[in-house]
Structure 1
Amino acid sequence: MPQDRESLVELIGRHPQALSVELVAGSCDPLLTVATDTMEWMSAYVLALGRVESVTVTRTHRVQHLNHEGSRWRFNSLSHDQRRDLAEPESGAPRRGPGVLTPEERTA
């Protein structure tokens, strides 16, 4: 059966509606994050998934907002102000990075 799960995940991963397909260790079912333009299209997609041979059950939870994360961040995408805020101080003194605590600082 593990090869069935892996081939199912590979198949679903090619669907444009599947934003993410997660396969966790053990006997857990694959977890999909799916997006469609309308609820009708979502219903049609979920019903179509139910017709795939190795899919025995589906369960859906409607989400109206997805949190964004940084996997699509690209080089040179910071604004001028953001780059300025990250630049070296005008005095020319380097930024102080992480350092080693002295024994006195550890007890403070």
Structure 2
Amino acid sequence: MIPGYDGGTTGGNVAVRVTNDGVILVDNKFPYSFEMISTEVRKVTSLSVKYVLDTHHHNDHSGSNADFMAIGEVIAHKNAGKHFSEKPNRAPRVVFGDETPVFLGGGKVQAHHFGRGPYKW
């Protein structure tokens, strides 16, 4: 886990799943967070990020999509595409419906879409 929330300047947490063949991330913070996340991942493995699962389209969770798509795939719920219309370079290339497994190097991450939840601050 790469911790995140500090009052709104660093974005949410990033989950890191290291497998035998690479890394699966859940979320990737802001557009300027790619280098920081990459540095933190390199502290635990020399393997590269192969997949990023976006929990949703907000900038503090999917901001580095474009950078990560240069080295792997970004996966998100099929409804995410409409939210990236003004930033198409960050739109996920792989989408799913209700759920999808992501397999890599003997590891598995199961993504689920539970519908829109309440959003409160």
TM-score (norm: length of structure 2): 0.31
Q: Return the structure number with greater strand share.
A: 2
Query: Between Structure 1 and Structure 2, whose CA radius of gyration is higher?
Result: 1
What is the TM-score of this pair, normalised by structure 1? Answer: 0.34
